[in-house]
Each structure stands twice: as C-alpha cells, then as structure tokens.
Amino acid sequence: MYDDNPTIKGLSKVIDETKQGQVFGENVLVEEIDKKKFYIESYGCAMNFADSEIVASILHKVGYTATREMEEADLILINTCSIREKAEATVRKRLRVFSKVKLKKKGSLIGVLGCMAERLKVKFLEEEKLVDLVVGPDSYRDLPNLIAGAEGGEKGVNVFLSREETYADISPMRLMSNGVNALISIMRGCDNMCSFCVVPYTRGRERSRNVYTIIAEAQDLFDKGFREVTLLGQNVDSYKWENPETKEVVSFAELLVLVANVNPLLRVRFSTSHPKDITDDVLYAIRDHHNICKYIHLPIQSGNSRILAKMNRTYDRPWYEEKVKRIYEVIPDCAISSDIITGFCSETEEEHQDTLDIIKWAKYSLCYMFFYSERPGTLAAKKYEDDVPLEVKKRRLQEVVDLHRLEGFEINAKDEGKVFEVLIEGNSKKSDDYFKGKTSQFKTVIFEKKGDYKPGDYVNVLIETSNNATLKGRIV
C-alpha cells in the first residue's frame, strides 16, 4: 500500500545508521560527584509528560541528575497545563509549596515550564515573584543558559513559539518508567482553532517531526525492552512530514505502518485524534497490523450540532456518527473513547440531553469528562458569553459521569467469556500476587500470576468478571 514512497523505501538504511548511536544512543553519563539535582512535576496532557522527559535529558547533559525528593533539589520545575482553570489553580498551590522548600535550601531555583509559562509569561516573575525561570514549550534547549543567568541573580524568561522546533534530535530520559510503555512525540502545536481551546496560543502552529528520528526512537525503545509506544501530538492524525531532499510526503497512516514494522512485538498506540483526520488509510493500517492497537480516541466534545459549530469543531453530529460507523465497519473489534465538555456557552438542557444521547449511542469504552472553563485569549472568550451557571455545569457533568459509568458496566460485561492478548505492565495496585495489563482496546485487565511471565510479556487472558473500569480473568 505504501511501498511506492521513496522516503519510506530509504528508511531501512537510515534506521540501521541511527541504531549505531547517531540519534538515539545511550545517554552520556557524567560524574555523579557534586552533581546538581533537579525535581520535576508534570500536569495536564501526555504531551507535557513527554516534554518533561525531554527537559530531563537536556538537564542531564549539563550535569544534573533527577531526584524524587524536592527538599534535596537544586532546581525545582513544574510543567504546567492551561487547558482548564482548575489545572492553573493547582499549579499556583504547588508553587507556594516549592517556595517554602526554597527558603530552606539556599541557592535553589524554581522554574515554570509549559503552557502556563507561555500564557502568563512574566506575570509569575513580576507580580507573584514565585519563580526564577519561565520557559515555554518550544524553549527547553535554552534551559542551561537561563539557569546560569538565574544563578547569577537574573530572572530567566523564554516563551518564544517556534514554527520548527520538534526536539527530534533529543533522546528523552524516561522518567519513572515501568520499562514497558513509552511516549514518542511525533508533532507539536495545533492548527484547528477550536473556540474553547488555548493550545494553539500556548503551543503554536502544527509541525511534524522527521520520520527517520521517530522510527529510530521506536527501534531504540524496543531494543531496550519496551513493548508499547504511544505516538503523541495535539492533533496526531494530521501528521505530515515532507522529505526535504525528495519532497515526498509521509502521512500519518504511513507513519503508523513504519512504526508497526519496527517489530511485531512492539505495540503502537496514538493520541490525540481529531475526527476529521481519521482517514480510511488510518483505519486500514490499524485493521491490517496486529500490533497497531484497536483503539481510537475520537473526541466529540458535545452531542449537539449547534454547540459543535460554536466550538468550531468543523463537523456536526450526523457527520461524527458516520465516522463512528465507518470505524466499526472497518475494525469491528475497535474500542472508541471520547472527550466531553458540559456547559459550553449558551448550551441548553435539550442540547445537554443530546450529549447524553451520543454517549449511549457511541458506546465509548472510556471518556474524559469536564465542565467548560473559559480560557483567556480563546475565540470563545472573545466572542461568547460564559452564561451557563457553574452549578449547572457541574450538575450536567455529574450526569455525564454517572451515565458513562453505567454504560461501562454494560460494555465491559460483553467481554466476559472472551480471550484477549494482554501486555503485562506490572503488578496490580492491590496485590503483588496479581498482574495488571492492557488489551489492544486499552482496557485494563487484572489476573493472577502464573508461570514465569514478567512485565513486557504477552499473555492470553480469559475474561471471567468485570466492572465499569476493569476486566478480571486468568491466563489460558
């Protein structure tokens, strides 16, 4: 299907070269003596957690080592999210905690990274005086210089948004990794301009990462024992990279196949999708490759077409329903998850009922559910009145949560009696006598340990019981 693309034909040679250490070799270690320590907390989306791993790698190369104890850190960092007001409030509380720690450790520094850093810029430095560094998502390479300046008494700020930065040449340091699952950032930014979303303003325009470095990173992870990678982007399925030499373009569907071909034992996931970019080619790639997971995150946000138009989602409800039908037609065993926002500007009770109805109809295996939080600078904040009372937003959200929970019992019960291939991720939280793992459909399975299996192994599990969130079974 994709064999005619010269860029893809040439990948095998490049991958062999990069495996020699040119792109994703082992991190260069420095002497531990007198090595400074950094502590980092991450909030928000998976992209923020992936970015923290890039930051860790940058700091490691200039002599820092990671610590889980903030009290012993010379540098305390918080990687922030601006998508909702609650996330920003959490960050402000943590900064006050960090400030108390800083008073006890002379010479330590505090830095704000990520989307809040870009959005609020010097506010942290001038008004709240809580931090020494403010660094946006595209400026992490400048961290060593900013730290050096802060150590000399300067306040470090770099929130420049780039049209080119992808950090393609930086091998992330896997923070708190279980050794099985890993994140691979394949693109940055977003061009969709949904009216409620601050991401285009805090992370800039879309740009896709060099395909060679993505494949090399996937290969390196597999060689180190990882068995599942998640390809990340704000709008991952709009990935499109043009080879500067041949001018050939690699699509997201082609990238999926290339990563899947690294090794049949390497599972491939991706997040987050925009419904308009899930093409038939993407569906065929999932259908035709056992190790591309049968799971698609397909955010609808609202079940009402008028609200979708105000959200600038570029589709209406009938179009979305046709997309869901097409997914199940091509991949019958696919699981679909979604995002839901309740109480968007001018939403009526009838329109809220449409959202409840789409949850029943689509049979989502998982939902991320929130009430609307107006974000400064967005199109919605400029054009629409945030006129749904907070108590109404919360009540509608609770109705969505309750319904999805009930649906979860019914959806998971249908898996009882079936056998699934499960990738073991580690011990169950409740008992070391049990493993936990996930199916291709991203469903968590708990099962008793048996034989010599270990994290990273695949096992077939017969599902015997279930609840709204978890499947339970035994190895067969």
Residue 332 in any domain: the answer is no
pLDDT digits (tens, 9 = 90+) for 317-375: 999 999 999 999 999 999 999 999 999 999 999 999 999 999 999 999 999 999 999 98
- The CATH number of residue 242's host domain is 3.30.750.210
Whether the per-residue pLDDT at 10 is higher than 90: the answer is no
Q: Are strands 207-208 and 187-188 parallel, antiparallel or unpaired?
A: antiparallel
CA distance 56 to 39: 9
Which of 293, 327, 357 is the last residue in one of the domains?
Answer: 293
Q: Mapping DSSP to helix (H, G, I), strand (E, B) and coil, where does residue 455 land?
A: coil
CATH number where 63 lies: 3.40.50.12160
The helix (run of H) or strand (run of E) holding residue 25 is none
77 and 145, same structural domain? yes
> Quick check: is 84 in a domain?
yes
Q: What number is the average pLDDT over the span 265-269?
A: 98
Query: Per the structure, how many domains does the chain have?
Result: 3
Same domain, 8 and 98: no
Residues 44, 14 share a domain: no
pLDDT of 18 reads 33
Pair (40, 8) in one structural domain: no
Considering the domain architecture, whether residues 37 and 154 belong to the same structural domain is answered as yes
Q: Each residue of 74-114: pLDDT tens digit?
A: 999 999 887 777 777 888 889 889 989 998 888 899 999 98
Name the E strands within 140-287: 156-158, 181-185, 187-188, 207-208, 228-232, 240-242, 249-251, 267-271
4 found inside a domain: yes
Pair 180, 286 in one domain: yes
Which residue range is the domain that position 445 belongs to? Answer: 419-475
Residues 142 and 156: their CA atoms lie apart, in Å, by 10
Is the pTM value of this prediction over 0.85?
yes
Whether 202 and 260 map to the same domain: the answer is yes
Respond yes or no on whether the N-terminal peptide bond of residue 272 is cis (omega within 30° of 0): yes
Same domain, 51 and 90: yes
With contact defined as beta carbons under 8 Å apart, do 80 and 112 qualify? yes
Condensed to tens digits (0 to 9), the pLDDT of residues 110-152 reads 999 988 887 777 677 675 577 899 999 999 999 999 999 999 8
Whole-number Å distance between alpha carbons of 173 and 40: 13
Q: Which of 42, 39, 38 has its CA nearest to residue 64?
A: 38
Of 223-227, 242-246, 291-295, 459-463, minimum mean pLDDT range: 242-246
- Do 243 and 177 share a domain, yes or no? yes
Paired sense of beta strands 434-438 and 419-427, if any: antiparallel
**Residue 305 belongs to some domain of the structure:** no
Q: In angstroms, how far is CA 266 from the centroid of its own chain?
A: 18
